[in-house]
């Protein structure tokens, strides 16, 4: 047997279990060794029977005096055994496990682990964990009398079963190659990998277990940091077009704006325009809470690029948003006599072909669009700058698709991604570690804090009244319909939107002008609705999550979210960000019928803070990082949450990785390099 032996060859596994294990990603012996416990039960406290104290988790060793099954009045099967050692006896009771009497017999040596408890007038151990002792396991027990591992269990695979299968594989443990260089282990006081894996499964004691965890936590973060820094190094070897900073142009542009830029906008624009002047491709994230004014920063970067004779492209997650940006940018560009082109899923085939040609030949310089931009057939003549708005809405692969070589220059574009979802500091040092970040940490002046209220069902009418009052002041309202099911289908969304629309027009606001929008509509139809709503022709827009991101209609001041409990915190914050975009007081009403404490707590987090950063950290804790990187579906390696939140560990590993890469070429360290490869998919993030 060796590490590569198929799992089905392991004694007691067979085809049936092999299939179950495969679902856990376990195909061979090595995979099983890497299937590490989620937690441990400490059964290591071995005591003589007469020294057991109530409510203390202990193990005892002894001989079974007697064991038998009996049936209770309720029909339940009860197995009772008396176990004795030199100091006394103890009773053990198990329920509904009649087969126990076929494995455990009088005179068997046994080890029990549990607590002393009262059960119907007698004291003993209730359903203790146990292991029969024989000449083979005498020296080292597997399930009791020690710290025992508890694994993430799936149907039909218990921790007990896993332990008994992993135990014999310990013979192979020293064939696992330790990929970590000696000097690093020495410097950070880390134990060897085989020892660490061994201690994880069958710890000798808690201090050995701690050393094992330290080693593996270090590995996880160190490998991630190596991958991050190395991808950065690789990118720095690539080339982009150096785009000169056209100071006169930008000054004029800023002067013509109807508002003054915030300091944060100025600083970010400066950072971006500086990056563009370099031949190393920019890889920058513009992070700013909803409403902080990212668009105008992006527009300046695009104009500066296009004026110098290069192309720029802006990718948006929805058609509505693409159209909104297109309209805005076109207006901004008019004075400069520049054409802007829109490319979306509803661009006709003929138009598309024509536009493709123009882009290929460099005639179309500024392109705004949706996923249609990512199609394989689209090639750029000389793409200077690619921007992704609401980057978290795109998958890794999609974003990577924009990073292609231009036909004429063979260069990569400078890359700018934008998001309102703030990245917790720990993530910005890890998963986002190879990004430069520009921060819009202030909102344009005069914005009032959005007032957020949780509206339980019995207060619904009051909520409706309040909304009416706002409308009579001339404001407009969004109503977001609930999400149904995990993977809401557009068909389903359409139904809920229609139902809500009917309800509002018939029962609540028969006198008001209400319109609805959903994903099943034709793009032209959607566009018309948005244009009319923007022009103030309707009071209320009933929508699906279609308008979650980017939509900017400053006269809308009320956001009503039905069944708010169905949405994640970050998503709710995005919805809320559709209002509060003018100097009017804005409101967000979270309707919920839920009385679940956890749910309400989550929603109150939103009521209590408008700070997207705090919400993002809360969301990170609740839902994990998948949603931040937009890669949940992409099968990324599972990074332990506790490690991702551990700033001390992150910093230590980062320093170690920097130091290592300064002296070594990662690619030449085969074992280490192979190991980091599993993180590459995270890091093709840009
Ligand atoms: P987001 O960061 O959410 O994408 P937008 O770019 O859509 O925000 O900007 C939100 C609104 O604020 C827009 O109506 C925009 O015109 C306006 N805006 C942007 N910058 C400023 C500013 N410095 N002063 C006043 N209004 C601004
Ligand atoms: Mg935006």
Let me know whether 455 and 600 are in one domain. yes
What number does the ligand 1 atom closest to the CA of 440 have? 2
pLDDT at 541: 95
Nearest CA to ligand 1 atom 4: 294
Q: Decide whether any atom of ligand 1 lies within 6 Å of the 262 Cβ.
A: yes
Query: Are the CB atoms for 686 and 435 separated by under 8 Å?
Result: yes
Check residues 532 and 485 and name the one with the higher pLDDT: 532
Nearest CA to ligand 1 atom 15: 293
Query: Are the CB atoms for 240 and 275 separated by under 8 Å?
Result: no
pLDDT at 396: 63
Under the banding of pLDDT at 50, 70 and 90, the label for residue 58 is very high
Torsion angle, alpha carbons of 250, 253, 255, 260, to 10: -90
State in Å: Cα 288 to ligand 2 middle: 9
Let me know whether 330 and 391 are in one domain. yes
Please check whether residue 18 lies inside any domain of the structure. Answer: no
CA distance 625 to 606: 19
Instruction: Say what percent of the chain tops pLDDT 70.
Output: 95
**Pairing relationship of beta strands 122-126 and 88-95 according to DSSP bridges:** parallel
Which among 314, 444, 555, 584 is the best mutation to test ligand 1's pocket, defined by most ligand atoms within 8 Å of the CB?
444
Query: Are the CB atoms for 374 and 402 separated by under 8 Å?
Result: yes
Nearest residue to 500 (alpha-carbon basis) of 519, 488, 514, 520:
514
State in Å: Cα 588 to ligand 1 middle: 19
State in Å: Cα 294 to ligand 2 middle: 6
Let me know whether 600 and 495 are in one domain. yes
CATH number at residue 69: 2.40.50.140
As a whole number of Å, the end-to-end CA separation of the chain is 43
Q: 311-332 burial, b if ≥16 CB within 10 A, otherwise e?
A: bbbbbbbbbbbbbbbbebbbeb
What number does the ligand 1 atom closest to the CA of 581 have? 11
Query: Are the CB atoms for 628 and 599 separated by under 8 Å?
Result: no
pLDDT at 131: 94
- What is the DSSP-derived secondary structure letter of residue 28? B
Query: Are the CB atoms for 65 and 83 separated by under 8 Å?
Result: yes
| Mean pLDDT, residues 110-122 taken together | 85
pLDDT at 362: 94
State in Å: Cα 66 to ligand 1 middle: 79
State in Å: Cα 577 to ligand 2 middle: 10
- What is the DSSP-derived secondary structure letter of residue 667? G
Domain boundary among 586, 609, 632: 609
Between 7-16, 52-61, 291-300, 637-646, the lowest mean confidence (pLDDT) is in 637-646
Please check whether residue 28 lies inside any domain of the structure. Answer: no
CA 470, distance to chain mean position in Å, is: 37
Domain span at residue 262 reads: 247-277+293-419
State in Å: Cα 180 to ligand 2 middle: 43
Q: What is the pLDDT of residues 137-160, one digit of tens each?
A: 888 899 998 999 999 877 778 999
State in Å: Cα 163 to ligand 2 middle: 52
| pLDDT, averaged across the chain | 88
Please check whether residue 165 lies inside any domain of the structure. Answer: no
Q: In what order do the strands lie in the sheet with 587-592?
A: 451-456, 587-592, 556-561, 476-480, 540-543, 514-517
- What is the DSSP-derived secondary structure letter of residue 260? P
- Token couple for 381: 């003549």
pLDDT at 137: 84
Helices 670-677 and 206-237: crossing angle, nearest 10°? 90
Q: Decide whether any atom of ligand 1 lies within 6 Å of the 420 Cβ.
A: yes
Closest ligand to residue 262's CA: 1
Which residues, 6+ apart, have CB-to-CB distance to 196 below 8 Å?
A: 190, 211, 212, 215, 216
Let me know whether 214 and 128 are in one domain. no
pLDDT at 83: 96
| Mean pLDDT, residues 365-381 taken together | 93
pLDDT at 582: 87
Domain boundary among 584, 609, 634: 609
CATH number at residue 595: 3.40.50.300
Closest ligand to residue 295's CA: 1
Q: Decide whether any atom of ligand 1 lies within 6 Å of the 288 Cβ.
A: yes
Q: Decide whether any atom of ligand 1 lies within 6 Å of the 552 Cβ.
A: yes
Q: Decide whether any atom of ligand 1 lies within 6 Å of the 580 Cβ.
A: no
Residue found under tokens 């004291």: 123
CA distance 481 to 432: 33
Nearest CA to ligand 1 atom 23: 261
Let me know whether 321 and 386 are in one domain. yes
Check residues 554 and 420 and name the one with the higher pLDDT: 554
Let me know whether 549 and 620 are in one domain. no
Q: Decide whether any atom of ligand 1 lies within 6 Å of the 291 Cβ.
A: yes
> Does the structure show a pLDDT above 70 at 102?
yes
pLDDT at 636: 45
Which residues, 6+ apart, have CB-to-CB distance to 507 below 8 Å?
A: none
Please check whether residue 632 lies inside any domain of the structure. Answer: yes
Please check whether residue 27 lies inside any domain of the structure. Answer: no
Domain boundary among 552, 581, 609: 609
Nearest CA to ligand 1 atom 17: 293
CA distance 192 to 595: 50
| H or E segment to which residue 425 belongs | helix 425-429
Query: Are the CB atoms for 367 and 313 separated by under 8 Å?
Result: yes
Phi, psi (rounded to 5 degrees) for 661: -70, -25
- What is the DSSP-derived secondary structure letter of residue 565? G
Please check whether residue 36 lies inside any domain of the structure. Answer: no
Q: What is the pLDDT of residues 220-269, one digit of tens each?
A: 999 989 988 888 888 888 999 999 999 999 999 999 999 999 999 999 99
Q: What is the pLDDT of residues 624-679, one digit of tens each?
A: 665 554 444 334 456 677 777 788 898 899 999 999 999 988 888 888 988 888 77
Let me know whether 99 and 220 are in one domain. no
> Does the structure show a pLDDT above 50 at 112?
yes
Let me know whether 255 and 207 are in one domain. no
Closest ligand to residue 297's CA: 1
pLDDT at 392: 72
Let me know whether 597 and 628 are in one domain. no
Inter-residue long-range contacts of 242-247, CB under 8 Å, 24+ positions, other chains counted: 242/276, 242/277, 242/278, 242/279, 243/276, 243/277, 243/304, 243/305, 243/308, 243/310, 243/384, 243/385, 243/414, 244/277, 244/308, 245/273, 245/274, 245/276, 245/277, 245/304, 246/304, 246/307, 246/308
Under the banding of pLDDT at 50, 70 and 90, the label for residue 686 is very low
Torsion angle, alpha carbons of 575, 580, 585, 589, to 10: 0
Let me know whether 629 and 685 are in one domain. yes
Helices 319-333 and 523-534: crossing angle, nearest 10°? 60
- Token couple for 472: 């009579």
How many domains, the chain?
A: 4
Nearest CA to ligand 1 atom 24: 444
- What is the DSSP-derived secondary structure letter of residue 207? H
What number does the ligand 1 atom closest to the CA of 389 have? 4
Under the banding of pLDDT at 50, 70 and 90, the label for residue 598 is confident
Residue 471: strand, helix, or coil: helix
State in Å: Cα 430 to ligand 2 middle: 25
State in Å: Cα 433 to ligand 2 middle: 23
Which residues, 6+ apart, have CB-to-CB distance to 297 below 8 Å?
A: 265, 268, 269, 272, 286, 438, 440
CA distance 612 to 572: 10
What number does the ligand 1 atom closest to the CA of 265 have? 23
> Does the structure show a pLDDT above 90 at 175?
yes
State in Å: Cα 606 to ligand 1 middle: 22
Under the banding of pLDDT at 50, 70 and 90, the label for residue 681 is low
Torsion angle, alpha carbons of 274, 279, 281, 285, to 10: 0
- Token couple for 419: 């998001």
- Token couple for 227: 């991958």
Between 316-320, 553-557, 682-686, the lowest mean confidence (pLDDT) is in 682-686
Q: Decide whether any atom of ligand 1 lies within 6 Å of the 294 Cβ.
A: yes
CA distance 497 to 488: 13
State in Å: Cα 320 to ligand 2 middle: 12
Nearest CA to ligand 1 atom 5: 293
Nearest CA to ligand 1 atom 10: 291
pLDDT at 668: 84
> Does the structure show a pLDDT above 80 at 390?
yes
pLDDT at 550: 77
Let me know whether 491 and 546 are in one domain. yes
pLDDT at 232: 81
Q: Decide whether any atom of ligand 1 lies within 6 Å of the 554 Cβ.
A: yes
> Does the structure show a pLDDT above 80 at 319?
yes
Between 64-73, 181-190, 422-431, 442-451, the lowest mean confidence (pLDDT) is in 422-431
Let me know whether 379 and 466 are in one domain. no
pLDDT at 638: 63
Phi, psi (rounded to 5 degrees) for 557: -125, -5
Please check whether residue 32 lies inside any domain of the structure. Answer: no
> Does the structure show a pLDDT above 70 at 340?
yes
Residue found under tokens 């793009």: 523
Please check whether residue 34 lies inside any domain of the structure. Answer: no
pLDDT at 81: 96
């Amino acid at each position: 047997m060796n590490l590569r032996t198929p799992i089905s060859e392991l004694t007691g596994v067979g085809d049936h279990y092999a299939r179950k294990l495969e679902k856990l990603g376990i195909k061979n012996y090595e995979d099983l060794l890497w299937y590490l416990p989620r937690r441990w039960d400490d059964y290591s406290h071995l005591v003589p029977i007469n020294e057991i104290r109530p409510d203390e988790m202990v193990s005892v060793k002894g001989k079974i005096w007697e064991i038998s099954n009996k049936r209770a009045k309720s029909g339940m099967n009860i197995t009772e055994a008396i176990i004795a050692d030199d100091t006394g006896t103890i009773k053990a009771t198990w329920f509904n496990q009649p087969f126990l009497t076929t494995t455990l017999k009088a005179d068997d040596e046994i080890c029990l682990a549990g607590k002393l408890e009262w059960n119907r007038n007698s004291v003993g151990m209730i359903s203790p964990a146990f292991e029969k002792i024989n000449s083979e396991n005498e020296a080292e027990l597997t399930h009791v009398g020690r710290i025992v591992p508890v694994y993430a269990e799936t149907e039909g695979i218990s921790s007990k079963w896993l332990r008994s299968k992993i135990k014999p594989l310990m013979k192979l443990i020293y064939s696992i190659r330790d990929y970590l260089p000696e000097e690093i282990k020495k410097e950070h006081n880390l134990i060897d990998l085989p020892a660490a894996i061994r201690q994880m499964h069958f710890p000798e004691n808690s201090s050995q277990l701690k050393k094992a965890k330290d080693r593996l936590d270090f590995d996880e973060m160190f490998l991630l940091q190596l991958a991050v820094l190395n991808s950065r190094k690789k990118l720095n070897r690539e080339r982009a077009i150096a785009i000169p900073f056209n100071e006169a142009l930008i000054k004029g542009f800023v002067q013509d704006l109807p508002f003054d830029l915030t300091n944060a906008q100025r600083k970010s624009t400066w950072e971006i325009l500086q990056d563009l002047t370099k031949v190393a491709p920019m890889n920058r994230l513009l992070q700013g809470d909803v409403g902080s004014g990212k668009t105008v920063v992006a527009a300046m970067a695009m104009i500066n690029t296009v004026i110098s004779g290069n192309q720029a492209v802006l990718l948006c997650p929805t058609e509505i948003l693409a159209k909104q940006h297109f309209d805005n940018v076109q207006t901004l560009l008019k004075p400069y006599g520049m054409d802007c082109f829109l490319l979306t899923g509803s661009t006709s085939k003929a138009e598309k072909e024509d536009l493709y040609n123009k882009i290929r030949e460099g005639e179309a310089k500024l392109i705004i669009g949706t996923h249609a931009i990512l199609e394989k057939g689209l090639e750029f003549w000389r793409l200077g700058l690619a921007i992704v708005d609401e980057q978290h809405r795109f998958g890794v692969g999609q974003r990577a698709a924009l990073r292609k070589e231009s036909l004429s220059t063979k260069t990569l574009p400078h890359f700018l991604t934008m998001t309102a979802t703030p990245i917790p500091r720990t993530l910005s040092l890890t998963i986002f570690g190879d990004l430069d970040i520009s921060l819009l940490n202030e909102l344009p002046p005069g914005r009032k804090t959005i007032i957020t209220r949780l509206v339980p069902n019995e207060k619904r009418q009051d909520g409706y009244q309040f909304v009416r009052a706002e409308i009579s002041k001339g404001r407009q309202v969004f109503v977001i319909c609930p999400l149904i099911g995990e993977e809401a289908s557009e068909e389903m969304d359409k139904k809920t939107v229609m139902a809500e629309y009917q309800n509002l027009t018939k029962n609540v606001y028969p006198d008001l002008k209400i319109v609805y929008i959903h994903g099943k509509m034709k793009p032209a139809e959607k566009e018309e609705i948005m244009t009319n709503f923007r022009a103030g022709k309707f009071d209320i827009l009933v929508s699906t999550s279609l308008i979650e991101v980017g939509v900017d209609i400053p006269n809308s001041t009320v956001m009503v979210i039905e069944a708010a409990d169905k949405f994640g915190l970050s998503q709710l914050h995005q919805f809320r960000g559709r209002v509060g975009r003018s100097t009017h007081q804005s409101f967000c009403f979270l309707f919920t019928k839920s009385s679940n404490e956890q749910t309400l707590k989550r929603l109150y987090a939103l009521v209590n803070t408008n700070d997207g950063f705090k919400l993002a950290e809360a969301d990170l804790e609740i839902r994990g990082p998948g949603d931040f990187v937009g890669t949940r579906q992409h099968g990324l390696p599972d990074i332990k949450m506790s490690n991702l939140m551990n700033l001390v560990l992150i910093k230590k590993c980062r320093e170690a990785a920097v130091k290592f890469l300064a002296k070594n070429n990662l690619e030449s360290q085969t074992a280490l390099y192979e190991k980091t490869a599993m993180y590459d998919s995270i890091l093709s993030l840009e």
